[in-house]
Structure 1
Amino acid sequence: MNGPSLALRQRSLGDPSAEFPLFPPLTRGCPRTSTDEIAYPLEITYDYARVDPRLFEQEPGTDLARWSPLLPPLEAPTLGEGGTPLVEFDGIYVKDESRNPTWSHKDRLNRVTVSAAVASGAPGVVVASSGNHGASAAAYAARAGLPAIVLTSADSPPAVQAFARAYGAKVVSVPAEARWPLLREVVDRLGYHPVSNQTVTHTGHPFGPEGYKTIAYELFLQLGGVPAAVFTPTGYAELLYGMWKGFVELRLLGLTEAVPRMFSCETAAGGPHARALATGAPAAIVELAASDAYGIAGQVGGHRGVVAVRDSGGEALLVTDEELRAAQRDLARQGLWQELSGAAGLAGHRKLRRDFDGPVVCVATSSGFKDVGVGVERFPVLENPTLDDLAPDA
């Protein structure tokens, strides 16, 4: 039923008529449609007529290989990614991606992108990341037997740097502005396969969002249909676009007539996708203020997020750190501890204050262990504890 990949080729989001062979992955955006000001991502096309409809009769368990016909070739071994729970909370559903092998949604992307590195015969993997992406890439590279270089900024959480180092990656802290030029040099001179962005506006790896489609497939099975709305923490919008593409494919395959409205949830400190959508631009670069939500705080947006929000009839939402902390606290009190960025979906839903005719899903992306300052605070020791000291906090 699962069978081999039905992936055909790469196609530009700037001009769908601009198509390229499936390999090599074009990791610097579309060479035909991109300009000095805007780089257009590529996506993967498939032979949909050959998809066995029984593919969507299975349980939504772990290992993305269960969806192999609708993914690029999976040459890297699994770590058991996917199959994450859908938890009811306060009238909505939370898709808890912190249950993945390295505790974030990035495992879905890296199963696919590290597979591309293996299929391309690359000697290693390189990534510029201050958090989840670097740790996940390091884990999947280690599982595939490839060395990994992780270029991180000096102010990234020490716990996350230790996380990536635990997998044997070469983790180097450099000034933020030096990460991408150095990454390109590693690619050009060492031949390592890049699994993060190299372009002026975000394009990233063309295979990456394909891994995120599987969240849409799982939601379809878990809900018995598609949700009415999906609220997603949004940095570069690969997650947002990948899910949107998955829902569009479900409609294309005749499994549903409806598709959800997609809502990007960005930190108010930046918000490049909100800017692009407000101005009608294909992508935007903005000034970035201070934010503790480092996982989604970025200056650079990409065209993928614009496509997902615009074509679904959704909206771009901006949330403050205070709104994120309130959502993070309430999720934790339901047993769902997310990093600050991971609570953006719930914060965005609450900010919108809108009812929908059908299920609402807020994606929660990453464990609270990844947050800034976690593990630093020391707590007092009670020398002569009494029962009164054990009373629950009000």
Structure 2
Amino acid sequence: MNGPSLALRQRSLGDLSAEFPLFPPLTRGCPKTSTAELAYPLEVVYDYAKVDRDLFTGPPGPDIARWSPLLPPLDAPTLGEGGTPLITFGDVHIKDESRNPTWSHKDRLNRVAVSAAVASGAPGVVVASSGNHGASAAAYAARAGLPAIVLASADSPPAVQAFVRSYGAKVVSVPVEARWPLLRQVVDELGYHPVSNQTATHTGHPFGPEGYKTIAYELFLQLGTVPAAVFTPTGYAELLYGVWKGFAELRLLGVADRTPRMFSCETAAGGPHAKALATGAPAAVVGLGPTDAYGVACSVGGHRGVAAVRDSGGDPVLVTDEDLRLAQRDLARAGLWQELSGAAGLAGYRRLRRDFDGPVVCIATSSGFKDVGVATERHPALEEPTLEDLIP
């Protein structure tokens, strides 16, 4: 540990003067600035004057408590999240978040969000998720000794559902439109702590993106500088915003003199953040077409992603399933097997076709084992294999 949390309070991204105590976490958006059609998320404010700049020296390490002064209180035990490798891949760097305990970036969020559940005295954790988020929340809840309810869609990959159940979570497959009313009912009637969105446009857990800031801190130490650009797989944009905020804090603290340009990499089947940025709206909701990239297939956007791209001077990038499959294949052939959605950062960089004056980082978010259709194809044994059969 590097000292106690210096978190002070929550504030609205809709109006930075709208502030609230640190607890309880406002999991239904800002009560002052939100409307029925547009919900503004909250973020955590810290006592930056007390942050020791020596915090940003030395190796990152596999436990985000390494950065505890700049995180909300970490009352849930670690599973060893963070400290993931940065791997050179051609002309970019890949930040491989599949190396986290449940093989995705979501472990950083859930260490923080489940800590909030513990600190709040909640009897359990509830999440609406068909993939990485549900598995991660179930694992961190189990580690903290809390029961978890996971509301999954009926068409979520069976391997992922089995993964979630292995942690002892109650996994219930329900129609997509039923997930949010059920989530609210569990929160309101059972008192479970929600780690999923409950609002018309996305707000999610106010503490969640704070866990993602640690990616920015690690990148700064691993590169020895601030990258020129960061390409991030984007669903609800909590990851995108968290990484952006981490770099903004490094500049605020005088540790770095600049911030990177942030690029949201969304599936072309949806793209709510791209729509919001194109129209000047604070957030948007769009129709969602067919895509196998279920991890970033979101029709509902939020203000976090809009703010990160806009304030950093970045851009939204829409990628097709074909773009994603090509990036996924090329990463795998370099030893990095990613879920289709997890390859969106590299796919976005390739789709944009832009040069940058400095290092470029593509975040890869999740193991390929979580993809749709994994382990369903069988390859029959060869009865009399020859040497020619063995040649790649």
Q: Does 1:275 align with 2:313?
A: no
1:381 is displaced (CA, Å) by: 1.1
AA of the residue aligned to 2:225:
G
Instruction: Return 373-382 or 233-242, whichever deviates more.
Output: 373-382
Q: For residues 124 and 258 of structure 2, what CA distance do their matches in structure 1 show? A: 42
Partner residue of 1:140? 140
The residue number in structure 2 matching 1:231 is: 231
Alignment of 1:186-205 (within 5 A): 186-205=186-205
Distance in 2 between residues matched to 1:51 and 1:248, nearest whole Å:
14
Other-structure match for 1:346: 346
- In the aligned structure 1, how far is the partner of 2:187 from the partner of 2:258? 42
User: For residues 291 and 391 of structure 1, what CA distance do their matches in structure 2 show?
Assistant: 34
**Identity rate of aligned residues, in percent?**
84
Distance 2:58 2:43 in 1: 26
**Aligned ranges for residues 201-350 of structure 1 at < 5 Å?**
201-350=201-350
Q: Secondary structure at the match of 1:295?
A: helix
1:58 aligned residue: 58
Shift of 1:340: 0.2
How far the C-alpha of 1:58 sits from its partner, in A, is 2.2
Equivalent position of 1:111 in the other structure:
111
Once the two structures are TM-superposed, the CA of residue 225 in structure 1 deviates from its matched residue by 1.1
Q: CA deviation at 1:373?
A: 0.2
Q: Which residue of 2 aligns with 1:28?
A: 28
What is the alpha-carbon distance in structure 2 between the residues aligned to residue 67 and residue 248 of structure 1? 15
Residues of 2 paired with 1:258 and 1:44: CA distance?
Answer: 21
1:95 aligns with 2:79: no
Q: Secondary structure in 1 aligned to 2:366? A: coil
CA distance in 1, matches of 2:313, 2:202: 22
Q: Is 1:3 matched up with 2:6?
A: no
User: Could you say what secondary structure the match of 1:173 adopts?
Assistant: strand
1:182 Cα shift?
A: 0.1
Q: Does 1:40 align with 2:31?
A: no
Which amino acid in the other structure matches residue 149 of structure 1?
I
In the TM superposition, what is the alpha-carbon distance from 1:258 to its structure 2 partner?
1.1
Over 2 Å off, 4+ runs: none
Query: Quick one: distance in 2 between partners of 1:300 and 1:380?
Result: 43
Partner of 2:83: 83
Distance across 1 between alignment mates of 2:64 and 2:86: 17
Q: Would you say 1:185 and 2:180 are equivalent positions?
A: no
Query: What residue identity is the alignment partner of 1:125?
Result: V
Moved more, 59-68 or 231-240: 59-68
SS at match of 1:75: coil
**Equivalent position SS for 1:87:** strand
Structure 2 segments unaligned to the other structure (5+ residues):
none
CA distance in 2, matches of 1:53, 1:2: 11
> Which residue of the partner structure matches residue 151 of structure 1?
151
Q: 1:14 maps to which residue?
A: 14
Please list the CA deviations of residues 6-28 of structure 1 after superposition, one character each: whole Å capped at 9, or x if unmatched: 00000000000000000000000
* Aligned pairs, number: 392
**Secondary structure of the corresponding residue to residue 275 of structure 2:** helix
User: Partner of 2:373 in structure 1?
Assistant: 373
**d(CA) in 2 for partners of 1:163 and 1:313?**
39
2:330 is paired with a residue of what secondary structure? helix
Measured on the aligned residues, the alpha-carbon RMSD in Å equals: 0.5
Deviations 1:56-115 (A, max 9, x none): 112111111110000000000000000000000011100000000000000000000000
Distance in 1 between the 2:247 and 2:255 partners?
A: 10
Report the Cα offset of residue 134 of structure 1: 0.1
Q: Match of 1:229, as an amino acid?
A: A
- SS of 1:199 mapped into structure 2: coil
Q: Aligned equivalents of 1:177 and 1:379: distance in 2?
A: 37
Residue 134 of structure 1 aligns to a residue whose secondary structure is helix
In structure 2, C-alpha distance between the alignment counterparts of 1:288 and 1:53, rounded to whole Å: 44
